[in-house]
Amino acid sequence: MNAYEYADSHRAEFLEELKDFLRIPSISTLPEHKDDMQRAAQWVADQLKMAGMERVEIFPTPGHPIVYANWNGAPGAPTVLIYGHYDVQPVDPLDEWQTPPFEPTLRGDDLVARGASDDKGQVFVHIKVVEALRQAYNGKLPLNIRFLIEGEEEVSSKHLDDFIHAHQDLLRADATVISDGAILSPDQPSIVYGLRGMTYMEIEVKGPRSDLHSGGYGGTVHNPAQALCEIIAALHNPDNSVAVPGFYDKVRPLDPAERAALAKVPFTVEEWQRQTGAPQPWGEAEYTLHERIGARPTLEVNGLISGFTGVGSKTVLPARALAKISCRLVPDQDPFEVEELVRARVRALTPPDVTSEVRGLNYAYPSVVPINSPAMDVAIAAYERGFGARPVFMREGGTLPIVATLQHLFNAPVLLIGFGLHDDNAHAPNEKFWLTGFYKGITTSIALLEGLSKIPVKTG
């Protein structure tokens, strides 16, 4: 029996097991679920043992445990690392759920439960595929496999980076597979190959020692709120590009082939309008909407705080003003360098009648996985086998720091192979995972792992 046949003939069992996984309320952010987190980690570890992994270990962290497993019985063959997470988002507002969030319920083709799509269902696909491959290969596997399943993804993976850096030898791989996202539509698979990085800062402008009466001093003091607005207004050019010297120096230009590939993903102004409700798009006119979101860096004001913001009026001249600013970054920008560039620009823009300070808060590196690589060719073929269609390539505007971390550390491709849909209600009430995607995902993952067993080996 090959792996596809094994998986097909075990669909009912796989579904029942997935339901067991979904019944564990592993909400990482809520302290009252600490025991459930432990239970979910143990459940994953038990599944990995049943699937035939040799070494299975639950590593404690200062937060929730990390489940690690490996099978190293294919010397000379490539090694693939599979990353996912067993923690889930809180369920509120609970009264908007049509069925209890931790009682998985079948509704047509959808399995409804918190974590069904993000990420338990997608993690489970790969665990079952390893089990299927082991049956097909007489108790062995055609390649070496490592699993890294964390419990803190929904609380910004607080302890993951330290773990990865401390356990590089356990994790090193020729390719990493992450299934924690959505494809473009049920009939159109897609591969996200670019993610933006981030520098998050706050700018504080100070003027007088304390708030002043605007009648007594207005007209003689450079109002810090106004000075901050003047500084912020000068951070963009009239063409909507970022007016920070050096900001674009390391931005990798889009080549024509990549622009052509991105243009295959339809994103019209009408669709953009439907999603945002804003009157019309803004940004760098020479780039498409998809390019502006995925392949161009930005500087955004996330919040402004100053003076009196209550109901009614208070004639105050505020002593200070604060702006939260974030820059979304693209390769090869460095988040720490960007912070210094913005700091220098704000310093230069600060008039002598106020003072300013730029404080860095968060940093994440951007990443782009090369489209042309043996691993990516395997991913394309795997989606074709699983979904019957060639995937399109996408860049996303968001940030997934682990992609850049693993890519830099191991210099190996990270394949973002999602099986969910954009309307899965991840993080929202009535989260679901479409069973068609679950089974097509299993087929895709079998083709992916069998294909990756033949790529060139670097790990030795």
Q: Which is nearer to Zn ion, 178 or 184 (CB)?
A: 178
Q: How far is the CB of 120 from Zn ion (least distance, A)?
A: 9
Q: How far is the CB of 421 from Zn ion (least distance, A)?
A: 14
Rounded CA Rg of the chain: 25
Q: Is 431 in the site for Zn ion (CB under 5 A)?
A: no
SS (H, E, C) 215-245: HHHCCCCCCHHHHHHHHHHCCECCCCCECCC
DSSP letter for 11, please: H
Q: Is 36 in the site for Zn ion (CB under 5 A)?
A: no
Q: Which is nearer to Zn ion, 119 or 339 (CB)?
A: 119
Contact 422, 125 (CB under 8 A): no
Q: Which is nearer to Zn ion, 36 or 119 (CB)?
A: 119
Going by C-alpha positions, the residue among 305, 310, 287 that lies closest to residue 297 is 287
Q: How far is the CB of 153 from Zn ion (least distance, A)?
A: 5
Candidates 67-75, 119-127, 257-265, 442-450; binding stretch for Zn ion (CB under 5 A): 119-127
Q: Which listed residue (36, 119, 291, 424) binds Zn ion by CB under 5 A?
A: 119
CA 261 – CA 267 distance, rounded (Å): 13
CB atoms within 10 A of CB 389: 16
Q: How far is the CB of 122 from Zn ion (least distance, A)?
A: 8
Q: Which is nearer to Zn ion, 117 or 144 (CB)?
A: 117
Q: How far is the CB of 146 from Zn ion (least distance, A)?
A: 19
Phi, psi angle pair for 244, to nearest 5°: -125, 115
Whose tokens are 């200062």? That residue is 62
Residues numbered 371 to 430 that lie near Zn ion (CB under 5 A) are: none
CA 129 – CA 446 distance, rounded (Å): 6
Q: DSSP 3-state helix, strand, coil percentages of the chain (rounded to 5)?
A: 35, 20, 40
CA 69 – CA 150 distance, rounded (Å): 12
Rounded alpha-carbon distances, angstroms, from residue 391 to 153, 187, 387, 418: 26, 10, 9, 11
Cis amide linkage into residue 249, ω under 30° from 0: no
Q: Which is nearer to Zn ion, 112 or 235 (CB)?
A: 112
Q: How far is the CB of 89 from Zn ion (least distance, A)?
A: 9
Q: Which is nearer to Zn ion, 231 or 402 (CB)?
A: 402
* Complete DSSP assignment for 376-404: HHHHHHHHHHHHSSPPEEEEESS--HHHH
CA 130 – CA 449 distance, rounded (Å): 9
Q: Which is nearer to Zn ion, 119 or 450 (CB)?
A: 119
Q: How far is the CB of 67 from Zn ion (least distance, A)?
A: 15
Q: Which is nearer to Zn ion, 119 or 258 (CB)?
A: 119
Q: Which is nearer to Zn ion, 43 or 247 (CB)?
A: 43
Contact 305, 227 (CB under 8 A): no
CA 288 – CA 70 distance, rounded (Å): 43
Q: How far is the CB of 152 from Zn ion (least distance, A)?
A: 11
Size of the site for Zn ion (CB under 5 A): 3
Q: Which is nearer to Zn ion, 157 or 241 (CB)?
A: 157
Q: How far is the CB of 180 from Zn ion (least distance, A)?
A: 4
Whose tokens are 């339809």? That residue is 266
Going by C-alpha positions, the residue among 87, 107, 108 that lies closest to residue 34 is 87
Q: Which is nearer to Zn ion, 110 or 119 (CB)?
A: 119
Candidates 113-121, 122-130, 230-238, 323-331; binding stretch for Zn ion (CB under 5 A): 113-121
Candidates 112-120, 134-142, 225-233, 443-451; binding stretch for Zn ion (CB under 5 A): 112-120
Q: How far is the CB of 157 from Zn ion (least distance, A)?
A: 10
Candidates 111-119, 403-411, 417-425, 428-436; binding stretch for Zn ion (CB under 5 A): 111-119
CA 408 – CA 403 distance, rounded (Å): 9
Site string for Zn ion, 152-191 (x = CB under 5 A): ----------------------------x-----------
DSSP letter for 116, please: I
Q: Is 118 in the site for Zn ion (CB under 5 A)?
A: yes
Alpha carbon 272 to chain centroid, angstroms: 21
Q: Which is nearer to Zn ion, 77 or 426 (CB)?
A: 426
Q: How far is the CB of 52 from Zn ion (least distance, A)?
A: 26
CA 425 – CA 416 distance, rounded (Å): 19
What residues contact residue 384 under an 8 Å CB cut-off, 6+ apart?
A: 390, 391
SS3 at position 317: strand
Q: How far is the CB of 262 from Zn ion (least distance, A)?
A: 24
Summarize as ranges the residues that interact with Zn ion (CB under 5 A): 118-119, 180
